[in-house]
Every structure is written in structure tokens, then in C-alpha cells.
Amino acid sequence: MLVQQRTIKHPVSMSGTGLHTGNIATMTFKPAPENYGIRFRRIDLGGSPEVPADVDHVVDISRGTTIEVGDARVHTVEHVMAAIVGLQIDNILIELDANEPPVGDGSAKPYVEVLLRAGFEMQEAAKDYLIIDQTVHYHNEEKKVDIVALPTDDYRITVMVDYNNPALGSQHTGLFNLEKEFVTEFAPCRTFCFLHEVELLHEAGLIRGGNLDNAIVIVDRKLDDAEIKRISVKLGIKDAVILGSNGVLNDRPLRFPNEPARHKLLDLMGDLALIGVPLKAQILAARPGHASNIEFARMIRKLYQKKKIIRKYQHERKEGVVFDINAIKRILPHRYPFLLIDKIIDFRIDEKIVGVKNVTINEPFFEGHFPGQPVMPGVLILEGMAQTGGILLLNGIENPGDLLVYFMSINNAKFRRPVLPGDQLVFELTLISRKSKICQMKGMAFVDGTLVAEAEMMASLVPRNAAQQKTGGESGSSSNPLSRSTPTMN
């Protein structure tokens, strides 16, 4: 696998009809700079808006993968994405004058041929591989789908499909060498559907550009001549239609005996390209589809975002520790005597975080709270929760040092038992909702597994400069200095 990023040398174009929309489109691939990624640009819309090709922008998975930003939508991107990732291209701009790429022959081969004609250009920047170092498993019981990512030092995919349909049966396939196998063994594999699905897809507003030249139609039921003629007229198929004898409508020859399984692998490659970085992983998939592919891609993208954040702040790897105190000080503005967490031991992007505070007799607040009977103030337990929660909000923030977390409300705060010198507080914060700069979290504090405090918190992310203007230049606390709702512990 390549070490450096690469793009294409020259712009290249192709034109044709979109599979699902039926719209005529011209698509132009253009070179892009380092770390640009993969983006679609809708040049038919005002301002030529761009849509980053990642799972954060997926809005529809109806028999294809659709991405969108604002009013700019691009349908059925998976075959184009498979071609790009299969050729190990990192940075590229794809211009479209309609809302769906040309379908070509229903495979990734037309895109691969165009991109090979453009040639490749190596770039100075290193590839940002996501190296899977732990098992990641997606399971959908209802659809009997399993997708697993396992650690390995290259990129491999194995796919098994079984539709419980005698017209297709069970099939499996595997890609084990991207450079040697993708262009010849997988890129040419065409999209397919079952005969019983054709009318349903058409009635759902899909396959408007589909025909027998860009899709394999698998015959899974008997039809008489009158029914065949009715379907042909309804779908606007002008060519003669016969049921055929090889299990494919009109006896279209398959390019490989297991072409449907190979196309499913192609779809999976394209959908996983929406993670946004190249992978080093062994992917095993049973009965994958676009919905499951995208859910799995979201799981992997969260793992990538987590690793990226950890790499940015945690400079020394420590067993059982996500962020040590030095990393915490790089993230939070708080300092002695108001930095109230010592380490983070669990961190799940946009979900949950666990922080630890070792409570010692050297804490300055014990001097007066209370003389002879030291008890940690409840407001400081809440502050420790809040600081832990502030780290949970790291995702999507480029420069967290430029922001402060101010509380808007603290509700249902309860204190179950006193926290004393020698105790180790474990803060667990769960994200309830996040809208723009407003976040809701549920916080719990434990000592030796016993719940000692809990609260629901709403906070606002405020630019540090704006906060300084409002407070006359003071900053540093994550607690709202104007809040009167913060409970105390007597």
C-alpha cells in the first residue's frame, strides 16, 4: 500500500445518465491539493457548493448512498467512491452539472478507466491511515447482517451474500491485494436487482435511468408473455425482454460466476470510503447493504475521530489511560486550585466519558470545609463532572482552547453520601443531546462503585474572546459565574 498521498495529474470528464434520477450529467475529475480529501462540487447550483464525501453528510440510503450539504445533493456516490479508493487516490475534486454521477455500465469500471487515463501524481504528505488495532463489530439481528473490522497491516475485504433465493443462492468473494485485484477483478462488477423488485423500485421513484445495459436483473419468478409486455411498457423498455435460461433477464452473460457478490464488495468499498481516510484492516461482511455499510462506516469514523483527538493531546501512550494530566492541561484552561480531574480513562465520541479525581487531604478547600471534619463541597463535585463533560465535547472543535464551557442550568442535582480525603471520584458523563453550541449531559459521580452524586447539566460553548468581553476580561472557570442555580453541600 502507498505511503504518500496522491491525486490525479490532469482533469478528465465523462457524461451519461444517472441510475436512479435518470438525469443527464457530465462529471469531471480534477486534481486536488494535499489533505483536501474527496469532495463533490455541484457546478449547476449557485455558488458551486461542495459536498465532502464522508458519512457525516449521508442523508439517504435508498438502494444507493446519497450525500448532501444544504441544497446540494449527490445521489449514488458509492461506485465513484469505490473507484477512487480502489486506485488509492486521496485528494480529488469531482464536479457535476447534475445531482447524480453517470451510471456507465453499472460498475466502477468506467470511472476507473477515466481516472487511469488522467494519470496519478504523488504528493509530499503522508497518507493518514486509520489502523484498526481492535475488533469493531456491527450486528443487525433483524436483517442478519454482520460486519467486522479486524487488525491487519493492509486492506482486505471478504463478503458473503445469501438472499435465501434460489435464483442467486449463496455467494462469497474476497479482495486480498488492492493493487493487483481491484481494477481487473472487482471494478467491472455491475449492480443487480431481482425481477420482483423492478416495479417496486420504479414506483418508489428509483432506477429512472436503469436499463438492461447498466444492471443485471436476476429472474426470481415466472412471468407469462402478457406480464412481461406490461412491465416492459411500464418501465419504458423498448428492447425485447425474455426471461432467459441462465437466471439473468435476456440471458445477459455474467462477467464472473459470483458477480453479484463481487458487486456487493464494490459497494462496501465505496461506502467505507466515506469514513474519510484509508484503512488498514481486514473487513468481513455477511449480507451487507447500504444501510448497514453506512452504520458501520459511522462506527469506524468515530473511532478515527477519537484516535485523531487522542493523538493530538496525549503524547505518551499509557495503559488504561486515554488522557493523562498533561493532556488534560492541553485541553482545559483550568489550573490549580481549580483543575479537578486527574485523568480520563474512557472516551467515546459524542457518547460518554469517564474521568478520575483522586481526593487528598492536601486539597485547599478542606482547610475550611470543614475544620476537623473535611468534606468535599458538592459544588466542586459538580465542577469535576463539568470539566470531564467539557472534554466530551471535543469532537468537531478544532481549537478547544479558544472556547469556554459555560453552564446554562444544573438540574436534579443529588448528593448521596459525603466525599472524604482518600476517596477516588469517578465521573461518568453521558451526552444527551447536542445542538449547535448547546449541549445536555447526564453526570454521575462514584466512589468505590457507589453513586455519591448526580446531576443533569446544560452548557453552552462560548468563544473565549466573547466571554472575556462579557466578564470584563476574566476567564478560566467552566462554571457560569452568574448562575444562581448551582446547589451546594452543607
Q: What is the number of other CB atoms lying within 10 angstroms of the CB of residue 33?
A: 11
Pairing of strands 216-218, 279-286: unpaired
Residue 461 contacts residue 480 (beta carbons within 8 Å)? no
Which triple of cell numbers denotes residue 131? Answer: 489502523
Residue with cell 457548493: 49
DSSP-assigned beta bridge partners for residue 276: none
Which triple of cell numbers denotes residue 204? Answer: 418508489
C-alpha distances in Å from residue 305, one per residue of 2, 312, 394: 22, 11, 10
C-alpha distances in Å from residue 469, one per residue of 360, 460, 477, 483: 36, 16, 15, 18
Which residue in 406, 456, 453, 452 sits closest to 430, CA to CA?
Answer: 456
Residue 445 contacts residue 454 (beta carbons within 8 Å)? yes
CA-derived radius of gyration, the chain? 28
Residue with cell 489502523: 131
Could you list the active site residues?
A: 290, 369
C-alpha distances in Å from residue 175, one per residue of 82, 259, 290, 414: 13, 13, 19, 55
